[in-house]
Each structure stands twice: as C-alpha cells, then as structure tokens.
Structure 1
Amino acid sequence: MQEWITLMGRLGRVLCGGTALALLGVIVPAQAQDEVAVDELVVTALRSEAPRATVPSTIQIIGESELRVQQSLSMSAVEAVSALVPSFSPTRQKLSGAGETLRGRSPLYLVDGVPQSTPLRDDSRDGFTIDPFFIDRVEVVFGSNAIQGVGATGGVINYVTAPTPKAGQGWTGKVLAQTSFDEGVLDDSFGYKAAGLVGRDFGAWDFVAGAAYETRGGYYDADGRRIGIDATQGELQNSDSWSLFGKAGIELGDERRLEAMLNHFELEGGNDDVLVIGNRAIGLPASARPGVQPGLPTANEVTSAAITYKDRDLFGGVLTAQGFAHDYHGVFGGSITGAFQDVRIAPIGALFDQSANNSQKQGFKLDYERGFEAVPGLKVLAGLDGLKDKTYQELVLTNRVWVPKTTYKSLSPFLQVHQALWDERLHLSAGVRQENATLEVGDFTTLASSGNTRVAGGEPSFTEVLTNVGGTFRVQDGVTAYVSYAQGFTMPDVGRVLRAINTSGRDVDTYLDVAPVVSDNVELGVEFARGPLNGSLAWFSSASDKGALLVLNAGGAFDVQRQRTEIEGLEATLRWKAADWLTLGAAYSRLEGRTDGNGDGRVDQDLDGANISPDRLTLTADATYGAFDFRLQGQVFEARSFQGQPTANNFEGYELLDAVAAWNAPFGVVSLGIRNLLDEQYITYNSDTTNPTDNSRYFAGQGRAVTLGIVRAF
C-alpha cells in the first residue's frame, strides 16, 4: 500500500509541475497518436499479412506523427521507443545500449526486416544504425519469438523506412531543420540537424532518396554541470553523424514488385573532452572538461542493403523473397586497461589501445502464404531463412586480434498455420521453426593478458526446434482477448568467452557452450476499443534454463554467464478521447525478474539493473487548438531494490516531464520541444544500478533541454 501512496505522490508532483505550462498551451498533439483500427493494422515484422486482431501477441505501432513528436524532444529513434514503450528500459543516453531491454530481455533491431544486431560479440550499438528522419514507423512486437530468427528474446523492434511515392503522386518530399541546446549553457550545448527526402513516381517505377547530417553539443545535468563522457563505450554528446538513404521499386505487373533499399549511417564522437571522475559516496556525478582524448574517435559505421521481390498472385498465394547484406564497424574508446597489456610491445601499465567490433552479414528470407478453398479460414505460411554472420573484434592501434573471426551459419525452415473459425470470431495459430546452425572458429592465440594461450578451433553446431501456439477471440465488437506460447532464441556472447580463455589445451569444440539462449514466453491479454476509450492489458511470463546474463567481474567488466532466469510482468494502457480537442493516455508496466545465482537450478536472487527495467507509469495529454498541437508527457520510474544484489545498486527512482508544441503553419510545421521540463536532477538507471564502485561511469541524466525545428513537406 505504501508504494502506491508514494507512486501517487510522485505522480501528483509531475502533474502539478506541468499545470502552468498546460495553461500556456503546451500539452500533447492530438495527431501524435496514430489511430489505426485494430482490425485493419498489418505488421510487416510478423511476416504474415494478417490483421492485428488475429495476432496473439502484444504489438505497438509508433507512427510517423508520434515519431515526429518524440524527435522534437530527442533526435534518437531509441529514445522514442523508450519513451513510448512502457516495458523498455530507460536509455543510457549514450551510444552504447548495454542493459537496455524489452521485457527484461534483449530486443532484435531490424531495418526493413534486415537484422542490425551483433549477437556473436554483442556490443549493444544496434539502436544507432539509421537516422530517424528516414523512419516511417516503428513496429514493436513484444515477447520472445523466433519468426525473424536469432535475437528476439525480448521482442522485435522493426524500423520501417519511408515508402516510395504512390502512383500518380509525382514529386514528393520533406526537409527538416532543427537545433537543440541546454537552456542554461547555450554555446557549448548547441547542436543542429539538417535533412531532406525526395521521391518521384514515374509510373512503372518509383524512388525515394535522402540525406541527413547532425552535430550534437555537450549535455548538461539539472545542476548545470557537464555530464561525464563514456570514453570507452562511446558518446552521443559532441558527436557528428551523417546518413544516406535510398529506395527504388519497379512494378512487374499488377501483382508483382521488385524493390531495393540502401541505408548508410556514420556517427563519430568528438575527441575534445576528457572525463572528470565522479564520487558515488557523496553523490557527485562524473563530469567532463575540455581536453584531447588519445586514440581514434569512437564511431559507428553501418551499411544495410536489401532487395525484396513480392508476387501477390503466385498459385493463389503470396510469395515474398528478400536478400540482404549488413556491414558494421564499431570503434570503441581507448584505455590502458589490463586486458590490453603486453610487455613485448610496451612496459606493463603503459600500453594504450582500443578495440573495434566488425560484423558482416549476408542472408535471405523466403515466405509463401496462401489460403485453401477446401478449408475456409485456413492460411498456411511456409518459409526458409539463411544467414551467414562473420564477426571479429580487433585492437586497432596495435593490429592485434582480441576476438577471433567467428562465423555463424544457419539454415532454418519454418511453418505457420492459421485457422479462422466461427465467422472469424476465433483465430487459432501454431507454428514450428527448426534452427540448424554451425559456429566456425579457426585456431587462434589469446592476448598476453590471457597468457598468449593457443586455442584449437572447431565447428560446434546445434539444432533447435522452436514452437509457438496461440489464439485470439473476439469477445464482442471492439473487445479481443488473446493467449499465446512462443519460443525465442539468441546466441550467447561467444566473443567474450573466446577472448578470455587462459588455460592451454582448450579447443572450441569442447570448451565453448554454443547452446542458444531459448526463452519460453507465455502471454495473456485483452484489447478493447469502445467509443471514446481504448486500451489493453497483458500479463506475460518468460523463462530460460540457460540465460545469458551480464555479470560484473572483479576487474570491473561484464561477463556473460549462463544462468536460469524467470521474468514475469504486467503491462496496461488506456486512452480516453475526453473531447474533440483533448485525448488523455496512461501506460503502466511492472516487471519482476529472478535468476539462479549459485547454479543449483533454482532462481534465488533478483535480476539487477543491467538486465531488467524499473516499473514505470507514463501519462500523456493531447490537445489541439486551431493550427496548434500540444503534448505533455510525464514518466515516473519507480524505486527498486534488488534481493541478492549489493545495496549500493538500489534504484532511487525519478520523475520526468516533457512538453512539445507544434504550429501547423502555411510554410511548414514549427515545433518546440522541452525535455525534462522541471529540470529534475537524477542519476540514469544504468549508472544507478550497476557497478557500484565505478566512479567513472556515475552519470547524471540530461537536464532541461530545448529543441526547435521546422519540417516542410511537399
């Protein structure tokens, strides 16, 4: 009872603090929520052209106007997802997303279905691979599933890119100019962005292409202090990024289309700041001051390409074939860490080095779906996926190999059956996927810090059969209930294991446990849309016998340990159209996670903040007044203690209030966004709940920041 009293007290402070601004007209834009009837919505991430109401899973679509509102607060797609998806972790506000989870597990990021993750050496940079200006919508499929292959133990986050113009549209496009700054430190925090997108329909073929450039200033906390830089994992503040995007399609008849997509994204951090270490004992966060960082700047360089062919009338069914490639190069900051030392190169304690993670993927996806007149309501989806992922981690200044070249090859057939009954009031579905994978590692030698150990290579393999079953039932018009069981899987971070081998006589075939992390997800839910009210309620449970947890070691780094994990949670949403000009919304998530800390097969301690998000309540208000739209959104992150974890990792909780105003002017949409309106001083969730002895990563969150922009469509 006391925690609910505390929660309502915090909520009251958030709402009272926003009242003055609301009176000035800054609330939520009504069009910020893209209302789509649940029976009409089709989600491409599910690989089946089925209405949303027939899918037994929790799904959230973040539409173009919602993204535009969130980008008026923060120019990051990850921040938009975190703000709008209640069971997604608060972001670190850094380039690395380590510890950012969906329902307590890692999500799989896609761009038009192309996987962006690097599971063999997971560096958690997969949220920054495309500029959000080119994203038309974000599809979030909650919970473990294997429909997209490896990686989706927490769910799928699919960035769907801007479409080409429709037939008869001619030339279309949009341009954006945006600036952001801390309202108290204007010069050092100043950043700006410019982007453009243009397309044309030529009848038989069409295209869309664009470019974006962004430079970011320094971040300041609510006390006016510069926020500390993560010199190792990578920074967003004082960084520059540019991106190119293109998509072209050709109609090969009334029912056939061939389309190609290309996305290139680069982000590079500045080297003109150095870290000022904080002090956890007295609550002083880490800061930064002008200085020169040695080594190469931290960076992300990503290229994704896909060619997709769709035939909507092949023997009475729909064929979709996609071939894709993905090339990733991520540079991390340098240090004189013990892992890099080698007396053959420099005296111990003097060798400065830095790493880069590299991953190249090629793959294909084949889907064929059709119904059968002999069995009304029956649809069958059959498919075959192929993937080759080559990953390695190098030390770029001394030209050494830290993680050897590791190649993951898989060939995975799947079958999904859907049956509609009772005049399509009941929908049943079931499926099976067989993952056949091999991991290839050649002979290699570890670094000197691991004893220059010779390790024999190998080709361990596994076959895993993954199943799903579920159903939806239309209780009455506008009310649908669903239940499902689904398995998802991912690979353990084998790179961390391989680079740490320090005992001679090892070989990859017998030493490396490549058994995938298989998670079993059970979900019960209901969605409703009746008159001015719509909402949802979902309960879920997720368990894995051999999870892959981030566990802090004695050296201050995180290792991956295979432990049983169990996660249970509740999610609820509610939207009320109170008047033609006003819509109110609320979302709540509550998660509990436990793990087996002593290896006896029974869960006995809580998951910590590196592996699970806090409970969260989000409230929004949407309003329109003539040509003006407004948004006010408040978030309450509840305090949490972790049984079995150090008390220093306990989370204090905090509240944030954001506001956006938009003017739909004749010359474009002018927006003003204010992030952290009440200038709340807080420590970010990841910093507060992990590594309690590390003062160098004791980071405050960003204080009040202003973003002013204009978008013109034509």
Structure 2
Amino acid sequence: MKKIILSVAILATITTFAQQQDSVQVKEVDEIVLTASRKKESIKEIPSSVTIVGQKQIQSQLTVNSDITSILQYTVPSLATSSGQTSNTGQTLRGRQVLVLIDGIPQSTPLRNGARDLRVIDPSVIERIEVIKGASSIYGNGADGGIINYITRKNSSDKKISGISQVGISGQPYGGTLGFRASQLLSGKITKNFDYVASLAYERTGYMKDADGVNLSPTYSTAKMDNYNGMLKLGYDINDNQRIEASYIGYASKSDLNLGLVNGKYGIKPTIGEGVGNGLETTPQGTPRNHNYKLSYDNKNLWKGTALNTNLYYQDFRTVYGYSNTFLNGGQSNIVSRKGGARLNLDTQLWNAANSQAEIIYGLDVLNDKTAQKLEDGRFWTPEMSMTNIAPFALVKIDLLKKLTIKGGFRYENMKVDVSDFNTLPRIKNDGTFPNSIFVKGGKLDFNSLVGNIGVRYNINPLVNIFGSFSQSFSINELGRTLRDATESTIDRIETKPIIVNNYELGVTGQIAKWVNYEVTSYVSTSKLGYSYAQGANNAFIVQRAPEVVYGVEGFLHFTPLKWINFGGSYSWMEGVTSPKDDGDYSTKINNSRISAPKVLAYVQVRPISSLSLGLDMLHTFAQDRFEPNAKGLYVYGEGRVPEYTIFNFKSSYDVNKSWKVSLGIENVFNKLYQPAIAWWGARDADFTNSLGMRGTFMVEYKF
C-alpha cells in the first residue's frame, strides 16, 4: 500500500494536467458550492477536488448533444466516457460508482444499480452541475466514487415574468428523420415575497447512425425517443430570514424504435440495426417516469448564531429495458424504486472574529428506499427490498486568517434492509438448458458503521493553494444483483456485507499572472471488501468481493491571455488492483468496466467580434491494454483491449441582439468511425457497436 501511495505522489509531480473550464469565461475562484458541506461556501474553502459545470458551459454543450452523459464526459476529467446509449454502465467516477442527485434528491438505485441514473433530467433546467470527487457519506448510500448533483434553475429576476424559449433541430448527413427539441422556461416574482420557476421541455430524437450512415444497434438505443421534462418551483420569503420552497421535477423517456438486431462479431463487424424488430417488446424502452417532489424550509436565524435548513422529499422512478431471452420464457425487465426522506441541517457559529471563524454543521437524515427489479409479466428478478437509513452527522469547520480551512466530521450510518421471500429466475446455460429455480427465504439485514472525514486547505497566496483530505463512504451497492443470482436458500448464507471506501486526496491549485488557472490532484481509495462483477458460467454475471485499491491523478490548465480567446484542457489517469484471496497480493487488476482509459479533454474558444463565439472541443482517450486473452484467444467480459480514439466537436453562437441568439453545433465534426469504450472492454458480439457519426444541431433562442 505504501508503494502505491508513493508512486501516486511521484506521478502527481511529473505529469501535466488540464480540465475544460467554462467555454466563455474563466472559472471564478470564489465560486459558491452547495453540495460539499450541504451549505453555501466558497470553493476556496473546500479541501478536495470539485468540478463545477456552469450554466453557460451546459448550454454550449447542449448545442452539440443534449444527452447529459455526453455533456459530462466533456466536462469532468475523471468520469469515464459515455456509451452513447440509454445506459451509463461503465461511466464510473474515479473507478467507482457515483451517487446522482437532483437538488439533493437521490436518483441512483444502489440496491439494484440499473445504470439509468445519469439520464434523468433535461439539461435546459440545470443551473449548474456540482461534482464532488472521491468517496463521500454526506448524502448517504451509494457515493463510493463521489457525487454528481444537478442544481436546477432558480428565479433571478424581479420581473413578474421573464423567460427563455429554445427551439432546435438536429440531423445527420445520411438521410432519415430529423430530431427536434423545444423548451420554455418562465420565472419571476408575482409579489415581493413570492417567486416561481416553471419549465417544459420536449425532445424527439431521430435515427442514430454511425459514420458510414448505418443504423446503430437498437439495444439501449437513444434513437426515435420521446423525452419529456417538466419543472415547477414555488418559493415564498416569509421574512428576511425565513423561506419556504416547494418543487416538482418530472422526467420521462420512451422509445418507439422498431429496428431488428443484427449481431456482429467482436472486434471485426459491428452489431447494427436493420429491418423490423421482432415485436416481442410490449413496453417501450426508456424511463417512463421519474417524479421528484421536495418541500424545504430555511431559517437563517433560528436562534442566535444558528441557521436551519430542513426538507422533505419523495422520488418515484421506473425504467424499462429491452426484451431478453437469457432467462426462462424471456421477457422485459424493469426497475422500480421509490424513495422518501427527510433532512434536518443545523449550522451554528462557534465564534466569528475579524479574520477567523468556526462553525458546526449537524443534523439527521432519514431515508426509506424501496427497490425491486421485475419482469413486465409480474415475475420478480430480484426480491422486493426496503431499506431504512437513519444517520446523524456533525461537521466542524474552522477558518483561520482567511487562509487556513480545517474540516472534520463524522456520520453514523444505521441501515436496515427487509428482503422478501423470492424464487430465482432460471438463467440459460451454455448448453441451452435452464437450471431449476431456487426458493430463497428472505429476512432482515442490519448494517451500521461510523464513517468520518477530515480535510485541510491552505491558501498560501493566489499562486499556490494546497489541500488534502481523508473521507469515507458507506454503501449497500448491488444487493439486488447479488440476491438474484443466489445459490443459497437463505439470505443469511449470502455475502451481503456493505462497502466502506477510504479516500485519500492531495492537491494543489492556483492562479498564475491572472490569466492561467491550474489544479493538480492525486488520490488513493481503498476498500477492505469492494464490489466488481464479471461474466461467469452460463451467461450469468458473478459478483467479486475482495479488497481493492484504486489510485490516480488528474488536473487542468486554463488560459485566458486575451478577452477574446481562452483555451485549455484536462488529463486524468487511474489504475485499480484487487487481492482476490485477501492475502495482500494486489497483482490482480480491476477490470475495465470500472477502470477507464486515460482521457484528455482540450478546447479553444474565440470571439472575433463581441456577438460571435466559435469553439472546438477535443476528447482523446488513450489505448487501454491491461489484460491478456484466454487460451482460445478471446477476452472475457470487462477485460477487452480498448483502442485509442480522438473526437472533435464544433460549437458556435451568434447574438443577433439582446433577445435573440442562434447556435450551431456539430458533433464528431470529422465524421470519425469508432466504437465506444464499452464495445471493446465488454468483449461480447452483441455489445460491439459503433458510435454516432457526424450530427449537426441548429438552435434558436429568445430571451425576454
């Protein structure tokens, strides 16, 4: 372990890094962050690496591709690349699963991770995306690799009504249907104390084709899909110190793509869509519902020196997959998850001097998560699972002389899971037969642990700011997948222990000559009992529980030499090893489904005149060759060799006047024929697909 940590520290000192910043302006060093400590604070006070994707950057990327997984892959260095599909399988953060939130409401389904938690909102309603990198327990279950929090738009106008209207079309130069999207955002103040935000967005995608004009695989396809998003947010300022706010955010996506599947050959011929589908899918693929309700109350002065934030939330989520014949009698599966919770957050000033202050943030979280995966015909693939999580927490923050920030805290996780009795679904064997179903007696599982974090940031001067931290996460991840492949008759005999991740981080950030921003970060995360899965016998995935170490480096450089030009880029690299026998031998590598290839992001943005903006983004992933094929010359799932590729996107906008703007974006501007990383590391014929070819998007925007 010491050798691993030392190698990371050495590598951090000799590697050049970069991160894509806001495509229009330099990221302000005093930007406000909400997610890191569950309160507003300057990014200069956070002792860890945080990526903020601002509204201008989101809108700029939206011109190229409205898929949020694509926007994230171009803006977050240590996030793995997108599959270009409805599933975000393999799009890990620092080699581990990420917890996705919308305004603090959990979207992920850790009890049965269906990899549909990133595509749960339309980008048009997002004000910014806050990415907290590294293990965290601050929002509870599932944040082994970090947190992605979509912060939705709020009212910023004193007018009774103001808004943004957007209409756009997209298409490819190979014929076929065009895509269409439209969104309307309204906000304002009805009275001095009462404000609102309302939004509707609709998108209809066209066919998705590769650089040769051939239809991409219909499996997990985003083609011919209807996407809907609605938001209503109402706020009332009781007085200068108190505010109450209620919100609803709803998202749905449904595909009516009716293409036949033509399997290819791994590494040779891609799987494509051709002809007419088999008609076995009775329910459209996609996420037919994701309802989020939230009621919050803020009091800046509950009593002297103490502020209060409390909220209640509820999420109702359902996602549907395509037809599969890998289990007896076949069928379509879906994941249904309902979460209800409450958060109580208190912030008390311990002292507040001229240049120094201290505060304690403390409270209680309560969450109930009911999740199951079942077939459309009513059969359960996983049992019904109901998790209740009660977690008190406290965090002390000390700021000294406006230079030194010290944070330390703990959270006591108390999770109880009720598992129903169930029968396993027989999965097809290699010889075409099906094993017998196993009856598994359910029961109750109890998990509890005290997890903590501590961090220090020393802002020496604008040139050099040093930070270091230790943080932990506690999660019950993929319990459903473990149970659905059970070979024991009672849950007491099944390995269901939670994952505790220890994350160590060291970095330096700063500003040089007022026109260069940089950050260099190294990290190591360990877990005594990690979680990975691989292809086992009889077409089933096997769960691998063993000690793990993931380590890496990342960083960014951003240049703004003149007002009319800015450019920069980012670099990220990681490695992961495990000890399958728990004997201290970490020579076995964690497979590529979690450990992504090194990635470089680069961009340039120019304004030849004040009303015209032109930009070019580049994404380059290096080759990843970490495993050897078996005796038959074949790779197993997760271990396929991934070749390198480079993609360029063009984006532009022209301000006609203060109200009107037109934008043009071109994805894969050089029409490169390539495959996403998952097509290679998956090492399966059906998953070997091409990526999207050149596609253009034209948008018109009106502000009032």
User: Aligned residue for 2:553?
Assistant: 570
- Determine if contact 2:99/2:148 at 8 Å carries over to the other structure: yes
Task: Say which SS state the counterpart of residue 538 (structure 2) adopts.
Answer: coil
User: Aligned residue for 2:365?
Assistant: 385
- Determine if contact 2:32/2:40 at 8 Å carries over to the other structure: no
Query: How far does residue 164 in structure 1 lie from its aligned partner after superposition?
Result: 2.3
CA distance in 2, matches of 1:695, 1:193: 34
Task: Say which SS state the counterpart of residue 163 (structure 1) adopts.
Answer: coil
Deviations 1:225-283 (A, max 9, x none): 221121xxx321121111211111011111111111111111011241111111225x2
Q: 1:276 aligns with which of 243, 248, 262?
A: 262
- Determine if contact 2:22/2:53 at 8 Å carries over to the other structure: no
Task: Say which SS state the counterpart of residue 373 (structure 1) adopts.
Answer: strand
Confirm or deny that 1:660 pairs with 2:651: yes
Q: 1:317 aligns with which of 285, 306, 309?
A: 306
CA distance in 1, matches of 2:202, 2:352: 55
Task: Say which SS state the counterpart of residue 403 (structure 1) adopts.
Answer: coil
Amino acid aligned to 1:524: L
- Determine if contact 1:150/1:490 at 8 Å carries over to the other structure: yes
Confirm or deny that 1:84 pairs with 2:75: yes
CA distance in 2, matches of 1:555, 1:628: 58
42-51 or 255-264, which deviates more: 42-51
Query: How far does residue 553 in structure 1 lie from its aligned partner after superposition?
Result: 1.7
User: Aligned residue for 1:454?
Assistant: 439
- Determine if contact 2:384/2:420 at 8 Å carries over to the other structure: yes
Amino acid aligned to 2:614: F
Pick closer, same or farther for the CA change 1:255–1:643 going to 2, 3 Å: same
Query: How far does residue 36 in structure 1 lie from its aligned partner after superposition?
Result: 4.4
Amino acid aligned to 2:423: T
Question: Larger helix proportion, structure 1 or 2?
Answer: 1
Task: Say which SS state the counterpart of residue 404 (structure 1) adopts.
Answer: coil
CA distance in 2, matches of 1:558, 1:205: 53
Query: How far does residue 556 in structure 1 lie from its aligned partner after superposition?
Result: 3.6
User: Aligned residue for 1:177?
Assistant: 167
Amino acid aligned to 1:334: Y
- Determine if contact 1:34/1:63 at 8 Å carries over to the other structure: no
User: Aligned residue for 2:133?
Assistant: 142
Deviations 1:453-496 (A, max 9, x none): 22222111011111111100012135311000001122131111
Q: 1:468 aligns with which of 453, 461, 465?
A: 453
CA distance in 2, matches of 1:31, 1:381: 31
Query: How far does residue 603 in structure 1 lie from its aligned partner after superposition?
Result: 2.0
- Percent of aligned positions that are identical: 27
Deviations 1:515-573 (A, max 9, x none): 22111110011111231111101011111111111212223443432122211111120
119-128 or 44-53, which deviates more: 44-53
User: Aligned residue for 1:676?
Assistant: 668
Q: 1:513 aligns with which of 472, 481, 495?
A: 495
Confirm or deny that 1:261 pairs with 2:247: yes
- Determine if contact 1:327/1:361 at 8 Å carries over to the other structure: yes
CA distance in 1, matches of 2:51, 2:426: 48
Correspondence 1:69-80 to 2 at 5 A? 69-80=60-71
Amino acid aligned to 2:497: A
User: Aligned residue for 1:430?
Assistant: 408
User: Aligned residue for 1:560?
Assistant: 543
CA distance in 2, matches of 1:215, 1:592: 39
- Determine if contact 1:436/1:462 at 8 Å carries over to the other structure: yes
CA distance in 1, matches of 2:583, 2:201: 52
User: Aligned residue for 1:97?
Assistant: 88
User: Aligned residue for 2:417?
Assistant: 439
Coordinate RMSD, CA, aligned: 1.9
CA distance in 1, matches of 2:214, 2:464: 50
Q: TM-score, normalised by structure 1?
A: 0.90
User: Aligned residue for 1:686?
Assistant: 678
CA distance in 2, matches of 1:254, 1:645: 66
CA distance in 1, matches of 2:605, 2:352: 49
Correspondence 1:225-304 to 2 at 5 A? 225-230=214-219, 234-280=220-266, 283-292=268-277, 293-295=279-281, 296-300=283-287, 301-304=289-292
CA distance in 1, matches of 2:257, 2:179: 16
User: Aligned residue for 2:122?
Assistant: 131
Deviations 1:130-185 (A, max 9, x none): 1111111101111111111111111111000110244x2321111111111112x1
Task: Say which SS state the counterpart of residue 111 (structure 2) adopts.
Answer: helix
Pick closer, same or farther for the CA change 1:41–1:479 going to 2, 3 Å: farther
User: Aligned residue for 1:206?
Assistant: 195
Q: Which runs of 5+ in 1 are unaligned?
A: 1-28, 342-350
Confirm or deny that 1:49 pairs with 2:49: no
User: Aligned residue for 1:612?
Assistant: 595
Q: 1:352 aligns with which of 322, 330, 338?
A: 330
Correspondence 1:29-48 to 2 at 5 A? 32-33=23-24, 35-48=26-39
Pick closer, same or farther for the CA change 1:452–1:677 going to 2, 3 Å: same
- Determine if contact 1:164/1:248 at 8 Å carries over to the other structure: no
Q: 1:404 aligns with which of 370, 376, 383?
A: 383
User: Aligned residue for 1:61?
Assistant: 52
Amino acid aligned to 2:171: F
Deviations 1:388-429 (A, max 9, x none): 0001111113x21221111011100011011122x1211111
CA distance in 2, matches of 1:113, 1:132: 16
User: Aligned residue for 2:568?
Assistant: 585
Deviations 1:73-118 (A, max 9, x none): 1111221111111111110111111111011111111000000011
Amino acid aligned to 1:420: D
- Determine if contact 1:34/1:62 at 8 Å carries over to the other structure: no
Q: Which runs of 5+ in 2 are unaligned?
A: 1-19, 428-434
CA distance in 2, matches of 1:78, 1:464: 33
35-44 or 563-572, which deviates more: 35-44
- Determine if contact 2:167/2:181 at 8 Å carries over to the other structure: yes
User: Aligned residue for 1:345?
Assistant: none
Amino acid aligned to 1:266: A
Between the two proteins, the alignment pairs up a number of residues equal to: 662
User: Aligned residue for 1:596?
Assistant: 579
CA distance in 1, matches of 2:628, 2:502: 24
CA distance in 1, matches of 2:344, 2:388: 17
CA distance in 2, matches of 1:669, 1:564: 53
- Determine if contact 2:627/2:641 at 8 Å carries over to the other structure: no
Query: How far does residue 33 in structure 1 lie from its aligned partner after superposition?
Result: 4.4
CA distance in 1, matches of 2:269, 2:117: 31
Q: 1:414 aligns with which of 393, 397, 402?
A: 393
Amino acid aligned to 2:188: R
CA distance in 2, matches of 1:128, 1:686: 17
Query: How far does residue 443 in structure 1 lie from its aligned partner after superposition?
Result: 2.3
